[in-house]
C-alpha cells in the first residue's frame, strides 16, 4: 500500500546516488556537500528507497547544524520517512527528533520557528506532537506575524487530527481571542479559516459581530468569508437574507478576485432581480477592467450562464457587454457577439446594429491579424439582426455591399448571401440594392461571389432600365470578344506538344469531392474549380473580372453567366416594346455564349470545358433561339419560388428550435406553493422580499426540482455478485471533466474485515485522482467510498478493479474481482449546429475516418436515420425538406460537439434494396482517433434497431 505524499520533486533517474556516498558527505563538515547529500537522500526516499542506515547519521551530524537550508531539508526528510512500524506504532528512535523540534520551536531565529511550525501541519503522529503542544501555543503570541500565522495553521491541523480535540480542548476559544486582537491580514485569515473549518458557529458569530467592518478586511480574509457564506446558506437557506447584504457590500471591494467571487456567490444564492443585476454589473466591470484574455473569457462564460437564466436582466446590460469587442482577441469577440445576438430586442436593436456597423468600418482601416475573420463574424451578426428585425436592413445593406470585393472570400460570400436574402424579404430595398450591385459588380474578385451576384442580377432586375444595365454590366466585365486570338492558340499548340504527357495525367487524375449533402462525387481535375480553394482575381474596369476568371478555366462561372444573360433577355422581351432592341440583345448574348464554348474547346487553356458547363451553355443557346411559354415560366418564376420556399424552410427550422429551447420543466400539480402576499413581512429588507418571491416562482415552475430518484436508480451499476462475501454497487455521476463513483460496500459476513481497500484501474483517457484508502468494516455493516476520475478526452473508457481485504483468522488477503464499468461516450457529446460550408471544410481537414456498414432490421430510410440520431445524440444538419419523399435512398449529415471542444461529423448514406432491406455506409470523421472509434462502436452496437 502506497503512503501519502505531500512533496513532488522532479527526479532524473540517470545515475542514482549510492547510500554510502550520501553517508560520507553527511558526516563531513562541508555545508554545500551536506546540502547536496540531503537533497539526494530526499529524492531516493521519494522514489521508494527506504535508506534505514541514514537515520542515525542524520541525527548525529545534521540535527546540530545551524545552516537554514540544511534545517529546511532536514524537515522535508523527516516529513517523508516512515515514522511507524507495521502495526501503526511510532518507532522508538523518533523520540530523538522530538527534542530537536522543541528546540526549533523556541529558536531565536524566526525562519527556523516558522518552517518547523509548517512541518507540524503535515505531521500525523499524535505521540510526536503531544510534547510539542505548549511550544506551539507559546508561538501564537510571538511578536513576528510570520510565526503567528504558521502557529495558527499548526493549531488547526493538530485540532483536525483523529484525537486532536482532546489534545487541544480550548483551541477554538484561543484562536477566537487571537482573531480579535490580531492585526496581520494573513494571520487573521488563517485564524478565521481555523474557526470556519473547526468551529463554524464561532466563525459565524465573529462575522455577524463585525459585519460593518467586512469591507475593510484584507482580500484573503474576504475570500474565506465568502466561502463561509456559501457553506452556511447551502445548509440553512432561511438565513441567506442577512448574508446577501454582506456580499453586496463586498461587490465594491478593490480586489478583482473578491468582486468575481461575490458575483458568483450572489448568483448561486439568490434569484432576486436586484441581486442578479448587481452581479451582472460586476461581471461587466471586470470584463472591461481586466487585461488578461483568460479572465475575460471566464467572465463571458458567467454572463452567458446569466443570459440563459435571467434574460430580461441581461437585456439591459447589452451595451456594456458589447464594449468587450474592443479586445483584439478573436475568441473574446466571437463569444461577445454570440451573447449579444441572443439579447436583441426591438428596443435595443438600433443601438446594437450601430455599434456593429462602427466595428465593420474599423476593420477597413486597421490591418490587424485576423481582421478578415472578425469582419466575417460582424457581417454574420448583422445578417442575423436583419433577419430578426427587417427594418434595420436598410441601414446596413449598403455599407456591407462595399465588402463584395473583399480579399477575404468567406466574408464577401457572407455579404452576398445576406444581400440575396434581404432583397427577397425587403421588396422596398430592391431597386437601391440592384443599382448598387450593378455599380460595384466589377470589383468582385471571387468566382463564388460572382456566381451569387449574377443570380441576384438575373432574378431581381425587373424594369427596362435595370435589365439593360444588367446586360451592359456583364458585357463590360467580360471585355472584348473573342476571348483569345487564333495566333495565341497556335503558340499554345506548339508548347503544348512538349507538355502533353503532363497534361494527360492531370486531366485523367480523379479524386472524390464532398457535395452539400455529404455524398462523394468523383471529380476530375477539369472541374476542380468548383471544389478547390476559390480563385481570386484583381477586378478592374480595364480587364473585366469575369473575363479574368473565365481565362483561369472557371467554366462553372461561364455557365452562370450564360444563364443570367438568358434570364435577362427573356425578361427584356416582356418589358421592351421594340423588337429590334430585343433581337440585338439576344444576338449579343448568343455571341458571348458561343465565344465561351470556343474558349472551352480551344487549346489556349490547360484543360477543356467540363461536360456539365458545356451542356448548360448549349441549353441556354437553344432556349434563346426558340422560347416556349412553359420554359419561360420555369426560368422567370420557378427559380424565385424555390428560393422563397428555401428561405421559409430555414425560418421555420429556426422558430422550431426556439420553441424547443423555451420548453421548461413544470412542477407537479399537487406541489405546495407559498403565497407571498400572505407572508409576514416584518423585518425583511426589499432584497429579501424579492428573493422569497423568486424562490416561490421557481418552485411553482418546477425549476427547483432535481433529477428524480428513479433517474438515479438507472445509473446504479452492480459491481459484485449477491453471493460474494462483500457486495458492492456504484452510482456513476458524469461531470464535464471528471467522473464521480459513489461506491457502496456491504460486509455480508459475520466477521470484521480489516484493511479493506477498493483498488481501481482505468483504460482509455481516464486517470484516478485519489489514492485508495484502507477501511475496517464491522460485520454486516456498509461503507460509502467516493472515487474521483479525471477525463481528458472523448473516448469510451473502462474502469476495472478489485476489493481486497483481510479477516482476523486468515492471514492472506482475499480478493473480490469487480464487474467492469464502461464510461459511455454519449455523456460527453451534445448536438450542435454548424453551416454547410464549415461542415465541408472540417470533413476535408479531419484525418480520422471510421466507416461502418449499415446492418439493420429497420426498413424505412427516415426511421433508420431518426434511430441513428437518437442513438448518437447528434444533430441532423440536413433540412427536413431535403429528407422528405420516397426515392429509395437518403443522404444526411449529423454533427455534435464534445465537452472538450472536439467536433464529430457523421454522414449517413443509405439506399433501399429490391428485397426491402437497407444498405449503405455511415462514415464518421473527427480530428482525434478516440471519437471516431468510440462513435463507430456505438453505432455498430445500436444500429440494428428492432426489439
DSSP 515-528: -TTS-EEEEEGGGG
The grid coordinates listed for 111 are 525562519
Q: 741-761: per-residue pLDDT in tens?
A: 899 999 998 888 888 899 988
- CB 742, CB 728: distance < 8 Å: no
CA distances from 512 to 508, 530, 534, 611 (A): 13, 12, 18, 17
User: In this predicted structure, what is the pLDDT of residue 465?
Assistant: 92
Which pLDDT tens digit goes with each residue over 88-111?
788 888 888 888 889 899 999 999
CA-CA-CA-CA torsion for 51, 57, 59, 64, nearest 10 degrees?
-140
Q: Residue 803: which of 716, 719, 925 has the closest Cα?
A: 719
Cα Rg of the chain, angstroms: 38
Give the residue among 386, 442, 439 at the shortest CA–CA distance from 415. 386
| CA dist., res. 538 & res. 544, Å (int) | 9
Residues 6+ apart with CB under 8 A from 204: 228, 232
Supply the pLDDT for residue 705: 47
pLDDT value at 194 more than 50: yes
Tell me how far apart the alpha carbons of residues 455 and 874 are, in angstroms, rounded to a whole number: 34
Q: DSSP letter at 84? A: B
Q: Is the pLDDT of residue 499 over 50?
A: no
Q: Please state, in angstroms and rounded to a whole number, the distance separating the CA atoms of residues 876 and 894.
A: 4
Between the two ends of the chain, the Cα-to-Cα distance in Å is 48
DSSP for 385-414, please give it: HHHH-GGGHHHHHHHHHGGGG-SSHHHHHH
pLDDT of res. 908: 93
Cell of 938: 456505438
3-state secondary structure at position 5:
coil
Cβ atoms < 10 Å from Cβ of 935? 30
Distance CA 122, CA 128 (A): 12
Cell numbers 469582419 correspond to what residue? 375
Give residue 531's pLDDT. 38
* pLDDT at res. 4: 62
Q: Which residues of 772-790 are buried (b: 16+ CB within 10 A; e: fewer)?
A: beeeebeeeeebebebebe
Residue 509 pLDDT exceeds 50: no
Write the DSSP string, 541-556.
Answer: SSS-HHHHHHHTT-HH
Q: Helix %, strand %, coil % for the chain, to 5?
A: 60, 15, 25
Instruction: Write the DSSP string, 483-544.
Output: SS-HHHHHHHHHHHHHTHHHHHHHHH-EEEEE-TTS-EEEEEGGGGGGTSSPPB----SSS-
pLDDT band for position 682 (cuts 50, 70, 90): low
CA distances in angstroms from 366 to 374, 445, 678, 803, listed in the order given = 12, 21, 62, 65
pLDDT(657) > 50 = yes
Beta strands 510-514; 753-763: pairing state: unpaired
Q: Among 169, 253, 239, which Cα is nearest to 208's?
A: 239
Mean pLDDT, the chain, whole residue set: 83
Look at residue 368 in the predicted model and tell me its pLDDT: 60
Judged by average pLDDT, the poorest of 333-337, 451-455, 525-529 is: 525-529
Task: Identify which of 775, 765, 715 has the alpha carbon closest to the alpha carbon of residue 742.
Answer: 715
Q: What residues form DSSP beta bridges with 158?
A: none
pLDDT of 503 above 80: no
Asked whether the beta carbons of 567 and 636 are under 8 A apart, the reply is: yes
Q: Which domains does the chain have, with CATH numbers?
A: 201-270 (no CATH), 462-484+543-627 (no CATH), 710-823 (2.60.40.1480), 827-943 (3.30.310.10)
Tell which residue, 561, 540, 563, 566, has the closest CA to residue 550. Answer: 561
**CA-to-CA distance for 363 and 340, rounded, in angstroms?**
19
Cα→Cα distances 789→3, 336, 618, 773, Å: 20, 33, 66, 15
pLDDT, residue 193, reads 92
pLDDT digits (tens, 9 = 90+) for 805-832: 988 777 678 899 999 988 777 777 888 8
Q: What is the pLDDT of residue 524?
A: 41
Secondary structure in 3-state letters for 827-856: HCEEECCCCHHHHHHHHHHCCEEEEEECCC
Place of cell 455521476: 733
**Is this model's pTM higher than 0.85 or not?**
no
Supply the DSSP symbol for 366: -
Min mean pLDDT across 360-374, 628-642, 878-892 is at: 360-374
246-282 pLDDT, tens digit each: 888 888 888 899 999 999 988 888 888 888 899 999 9
**Residue 840 grid cell:** 465541408
What pLDDT does 687 receive?
A: 66
CB atoms within 10 A of CB 104: 24
Which range scores top for mean pLDDT: 124-128, 320-324, 360-364, 510-514?
320-324
Rounded distance between C-alpha atoms, residue 689 and residue 354, angstroms? 39
**Residue 776's pLDDT band (boundaries 50, 70, 90)?**
confident
- Determine which helix (DSSP H) or strand (DSSP E) holds 115, and give its type and residue range: helix 110-120
Helix 240-250, helix 273-289: angle, nearest 10 = 30
Find the range with the poorest average confidence among 28-37, 553-562, 698-707. 698-707
Taking residues 536-561, what's their average pLDDT? 77
Which residues are CB-neighbours of 482 under 8 A, at least 6 positions away?
Answer: 595, 598, 599
Render 127-172 in DSSP notation, one character per residue.
HHHGGGHHHHHHHTT-SSHHHHHHHHHHHHHHHTSTTHHHHTTTHH
Cβ distance 77 to 63 under 8 Å?
no
Q: How confident is the model at residue 941, as a pLDDT? A: 85
Confidence of residue 728 (pLDDT cuts 50, 70, 90): very high
**CA geometry: angle 849, 850, 854, nearest 5 deg:** 135
> Measured between alpha carbons, how far is 461 from 434 in angstroms, rounded to an integer?
7
User: 194-208, 382-396, 548-562: lowest mean pLDDT where?
Assistant: 382-396
Q: How far, in whole angstroms, is CA 155 from its chain's centroid?
A: 43
Tell me the C-alpha distance between 898 and 825, whole Å. Answer: 9
Q: What is the pLDDT of residue 683?
A: 56
Determine the average pLDDT of the residues in 466-483.
90
Distances in whole angstroms, Cα of residue 516 to Cα of each of 656, 788, 831, 841, 886 = 23, 44, 20, 11, 20
CA distance 511 to 523: 6
Q: Which three cell numbers stand for residue 482?
A: 473573342
Count Cβ atoms within 10 A of the Cβ of residue 148 and give its class: 0-12 exposed, 13-18 middle, 19 or more buried.
Answer: buried
462: helix, strand or coil: coil
- The residues with which 359 forms a beta bridge, in sequence order, are none
Cβ neighbours, 10 Å, residue 485 = 10
Q: What's the pLDDT band for 475 if we cut at 50, 70, 90? A: very high
Confidence band of 501 (pLDDT split at 50, 70, 90): very low
The C-alpha cell that represents 697 in the structure block = 416562482
Task: Note every long-range contact of 174-182, with CB atoms under 8 Å and residues 24 or more positions apart, other chains counting.
Answer: 174/137, 174/140, 176/202, 176/206, 178/140, 178/148, 178/152, 179/206, 180/206, 182/148
Q: What is the DSSP letter of 281?
A: H
Task: Decide: 142 and 178 in contact? Cβ < 8 Å.
Answer: no
Amino acid at each position: 500500500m502506497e503512503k501519502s505524499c505531500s512533496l513532488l520533486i522532479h527526479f532524473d533517474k540517470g545515475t542514482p546516488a549510492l547510500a554510502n556516498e550520501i553517508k560520507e558527505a553527511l558526516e563531513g563538515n562541508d555545508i554545500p556537500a551536506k546540502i547536496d547529500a540531503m537533497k539526494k537522500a530526499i529524492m531516493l526516499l521519494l522514489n521508494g528507497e527506504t535508506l534505514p542506515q541514514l537515520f542515525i547519521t542524520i541525527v548525529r551530524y545534521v540535527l546540530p547544524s545551524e545552516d537554514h537550508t540544511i534545517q529546511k531539508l532536514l524537515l522535508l526528510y523527516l516529513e517523508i520517512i516512515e515514522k511507524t512500524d507495521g502495526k501503526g506504532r511510532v518507532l522508538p528512535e523518533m523520540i530523538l527528533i522530538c527534542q530537536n523540534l522543541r528546540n526549533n520551536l523556541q529558536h531565536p531565529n524566526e525562519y527556523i520557528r516558522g518552517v518547523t511550525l509548517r512541518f507540524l501541519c503535515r505531521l500525523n503522529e499524535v505521540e510526536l506532537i503531544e510534547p510539542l503542544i505548549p511550544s506551539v501555543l507559546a508561538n501564537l503570541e510571538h511578536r513576528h506575524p510570520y510565526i503567528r500565522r504558521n502557529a495558527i495553521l499548526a493549531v488547526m491541523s493538530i485540532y483536525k487530527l483523529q484525537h486532536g480535540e482532546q489534545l487541544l480542548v480550548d483551541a477554538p476559544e484561543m484562536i477566537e481571542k487571537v482573531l480579535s486582537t490580531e492585526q496581520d491580514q494573513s494571520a487573521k485569515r488563517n485564524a478565521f479559516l481555523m474557526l470556519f473549518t473547526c468551529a463554524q458557529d464561532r466563525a459565524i458569530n465573529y462575522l455577524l459581530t463585525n459585519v460593518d467592518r467586512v469591507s475593510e478586511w484584507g482580500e484573503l480574509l474576504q475570500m474565506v468569508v465568502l466561502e463561509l457564506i456559501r457553506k452556511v446558506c447551502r445548509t440553512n437557506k432561511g438565513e441567506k437574507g442577512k448574508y446577501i447584504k454582506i456580499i453586496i457590500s463586498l461587490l465594491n471591494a478593490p480586489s478583482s478576485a473578491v468582486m468575481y467571487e461575490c458575483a458568483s456567490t450572489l448568483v448561486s444564492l439568490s434569484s432576486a432581480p436586484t441581486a442578479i443585476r448587481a452581479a451582472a454589473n460586476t461581471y461587466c466591470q471586470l470584463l472591461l477592467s481586466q487585461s488578461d484574455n483568460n479572465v475575460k473569457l471566464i467572465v463571458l462564460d458567467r454572463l452567458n450562464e446569466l443570459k440563459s437564466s435571467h434574460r430580461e436582466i441581461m437585456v439591459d446590460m447589452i451595451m456594456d457587454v458589447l464594449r468587450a469587442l474592443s479586445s483584439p482577441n478573436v475568441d473574446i469577440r466571437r463569444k461577445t457577439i454570440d451573447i449579444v445576438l441572443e439579447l436583441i430586442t426591438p428596443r435595443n436593436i438600433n443601438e446594437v446594429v450601430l455599434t456593429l456597423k462602427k466595428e465593420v468600418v474599423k476593420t477597413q482601416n486597421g490591418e490587424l491579424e485576423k481582421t478578415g475573420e472578425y469582419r466575417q463574424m460582424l457581417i454574420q451578426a448583422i445578417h442575423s439582426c436583419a433577419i430578426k428585425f427587417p427594418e434595420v436592413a436598410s441601414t446596413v445593406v449598403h455599407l456591407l455591399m462595399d465588402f463584395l470585393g473583399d480579399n477575404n472570400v468567406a466574408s464577401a460570400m457572407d455579404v452576398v448571401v445576406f444581400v440575396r436574402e434581404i432583397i427577397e424579404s425587403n421588396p422596398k430595398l430592391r431597386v437601391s440594392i440592384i443599382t448598387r450591385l450593378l455599380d460595384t459588380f466589377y470589383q468582385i474578385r471571387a468566382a463564388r461571389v460572382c456566381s451569387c451576384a449574377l443570380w441576384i442580377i438575373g432574378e431581381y432586375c425587373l424594369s427596362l432600365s435595370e435589365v439593360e444595365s444588367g446586360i451592359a454590366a456583364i458585357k463590360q466585365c467580360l471585355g472584348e470578344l473573342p476571348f483569345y486570338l487564333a495566333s495565341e492558340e497556335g503558340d499554345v499548340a506548339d508548347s503544348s506538344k512538349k507538355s502533353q504527357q503532363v497534361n494527360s495525367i492531370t486531366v485523367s487524375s480523379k479524386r472524390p469531392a464532398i457535395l452539400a449533402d455529404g455524398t462523394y462525387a468523383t471529380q476530375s481535375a477539369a472541374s476542380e474549380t468548383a471544389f478547390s480553394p476559390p480563385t481570386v482575381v484583381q477586378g478592374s474596369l480595364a480587364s473585366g473580372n469575369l473575363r479574368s476568371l473565365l481565362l483561369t478555366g472557371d467554366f462553372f462561372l461561364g455557365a452562370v453567366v450564360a444563364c443570367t444573360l438568358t434570364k435577362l433577355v427573356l425578361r427584356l422581351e416582356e418589358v421592351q416594346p421594340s423588337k429590334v432592341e430585343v433581337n440585338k440583345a439576344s444576338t449579343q448574348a448568343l455571341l458571348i455564349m458561343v465565344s465561351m464554348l470556343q474558349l472551352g474547346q480551344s487549346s489556349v487553356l490547360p484543360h477543356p470545358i467540363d461536360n456539365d458547363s458545356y451542356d448548360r451553355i448549349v441549353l441556354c443557346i437553344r432556349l434563346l433561339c426558340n422560347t416556349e411559354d412553359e420554359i419561360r415560366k420555369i426560368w422567370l418564376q420557378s427559380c424565385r419560388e424555390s428560393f422563397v420556399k428555401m428561405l421559409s424552410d430555414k425560418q421555420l427550422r429556426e422558430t422550431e428550435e426556439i420553441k424547443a429551447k423555451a420548453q421548461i420543466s413544470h412542477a407537479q400539480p399537487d406541489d405546495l406553493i407559498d403565497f407571498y402576499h400572505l407572508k409576514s413581512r416584518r423585518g425583511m429588507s426589499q432584497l429579501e422580499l424579492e428573493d422569497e418571491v423568486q424562490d416561490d416562482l421557481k418552485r411553482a415552475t418546477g425549476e427547483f426540482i432535481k433529477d428524480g430518484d428513479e433517474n438515479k436508480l438507472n445509473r446504479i451499476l452492480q459491481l459484485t455478485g449477491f453471493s460474494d462475501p462483500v457486495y458492492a454497487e456504484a452510482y456513476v455521476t458524469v461531470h464535464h471533466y471528471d467522473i464521480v463513483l459513489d461506491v457502496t460496500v456491504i460486509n455480508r459476513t459475520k466477521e470484521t474485515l480489516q484493511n479493506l481497500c477498493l483498488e481501481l484501474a482505468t483504460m482509455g483517457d481516464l486517470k484516478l485522482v485519489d489514492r485508495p484508502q484502507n477501511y475496517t468494516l464491522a460485520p454486516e455493516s456498509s461503507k460509502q467510498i467516493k472515487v474521483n476520475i479525471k477525463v481528458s478526452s472523448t473516448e469510451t473508457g473502462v474502469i476495472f478493479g478489485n476489493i481486497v481485504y483481510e479477516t482476523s483468522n486468515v492471514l492472506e488477503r482475499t480478493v473480490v474481482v469487480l464487474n467492469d464499468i464502461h464510461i459511455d461516450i454519449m455523456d460527453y457529446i451534445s448536438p450542435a449546429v454548424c453551416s454547410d460550408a464549415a461542415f465541408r471544410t472540417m470533413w476535408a481537414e479531419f484525418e480520422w475516418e471510421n466507416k461502418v456498414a449499415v446492418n439493420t432490421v429497420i426498413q424505412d430510410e427516415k426511421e433508420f436515420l431518426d434511430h441513428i440520431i437518437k442513438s448518437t445524440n447528434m444533430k441532423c444538419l440536413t433540412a427536413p425538406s431535403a429528407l422528405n419523399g420516397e426515392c429509395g435512398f437518403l443522404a444526411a449529415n449529423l454533427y455534435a460537439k464534445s465537452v472538450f471542444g472536439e467536433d464529430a461529423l457523421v454522414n449517413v448514406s443509405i439506399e433501399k434494396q429490391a428485397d426491402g432491406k437497407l444498405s449503405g455506409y455511415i462514415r464518421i470523421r473527427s480530428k482525434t482517433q478516440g471519437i471516431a472509434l468510440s462513435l463507430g462502436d456505438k453505432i455498430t452496437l445500436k444500429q440494428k434497431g428492432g426489439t
